[in-house]
């Protein structure tokens, strides 16, 4: 399933070895909310590797650069989370890669704050952005990295929870997870998903 993702890791030419898309909602009012953990990761990854989001189209902001000498494309959808499939479809066509070469990064309220979970494929698990991607691509077979942001209290509104801000007590754990997630990508590209899962999950 992720064989294509791993087979492409040796590409050092102008074409990306992988496309990494972090999910989030555009707009200032959403930038610090739990649902934007994917955007937090993309900004951290881009900063670490001096990649700028320079290309803008109706579907995504994109930037290209090198991670450990391998060419990658980074993307942040310009749609709301529940329409993320539009950006995914555009990215696969733009970079001529299969779904198995698209790493999707997003928040997960089922995981404690600061937890990382890398998987080669799977269901949406209730995440509307991933539901949109699966519907648009017609497959669940794309790797994904989930960043734990903690669940809502029993009886609390889940929509309000994911669109709310992390409390100060959880910021350090999530910040640490973002740093580990940045370290994960070179491992995934060069050593494969099994090694990356064993090391970072």
The single residue listed with the structure tokens 């709301």 is: 80
Q: Is 28 helix (H, G, I), strand (E, B) or coil?
A: helix
Q: What CA–CA distance (Å, rounded) separates 127 from 124?
A: 5
Question: Rg of the chain's alpha carbons, rounded to an integer?
Answer: 15
* Catalytic annotation present for 49: no
Query: Which is the catalytic residue, given 35, 49, 59, 127?
Result: 35
Contact 110, 130 (CB under 8 A): no
Check: CB of residue 134 under 8 Å from CB of residue 122: no
Is 99 within 8 Å of 142 (Cβ atoms)? Answer: yes
Q: Are 73 and 95 within 8 A, CB to CB? A: yes
- To which residue do tokens 């740093």 refer? 179
| Active site residues per annotation | 35
């Amino acid at each position: 399933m992720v064989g294509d993702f791993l087979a492409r890791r040796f590409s050092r030419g102008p074409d990306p070895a992988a496309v990494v898309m972090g999910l989030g909602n555009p707009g200032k009012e959403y930038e610090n909310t739990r649902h934007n953990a994917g955007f937090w990761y993309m900004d951290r990854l881009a900063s670490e590797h001096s990649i700028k989001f320079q290309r803008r189209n109706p579907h995504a902001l994109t930037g290209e650069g090198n991670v450990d000498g391998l060419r990658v494309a980074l993307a942040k959808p310009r749609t709301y989370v529940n329409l993320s499939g539009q950006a995914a479809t555009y990215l696969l066509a733009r970079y001529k890669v299969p779904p198995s070469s698209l790493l999707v990064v997003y928040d997960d309220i089922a995981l404690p704050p600061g937890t990382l979970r890398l998987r080669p494929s799977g269901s949406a698990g209730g995440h509307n952005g991933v539901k949109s991607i699966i519907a648009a691509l017609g497959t669940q077979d794309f790797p994904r990295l989930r960043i734990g942001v903690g669940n809502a209290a029993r009886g609390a509104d889940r929509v309000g929870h994911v669109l709310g801000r992390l409390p100060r007590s959880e910021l350090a754990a999530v910040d640490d997870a973002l740093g580990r997630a940045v370290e994960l990508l070179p491992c995934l590209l060069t050593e494969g998903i099994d090694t990356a899962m064993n090391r970072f999950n």
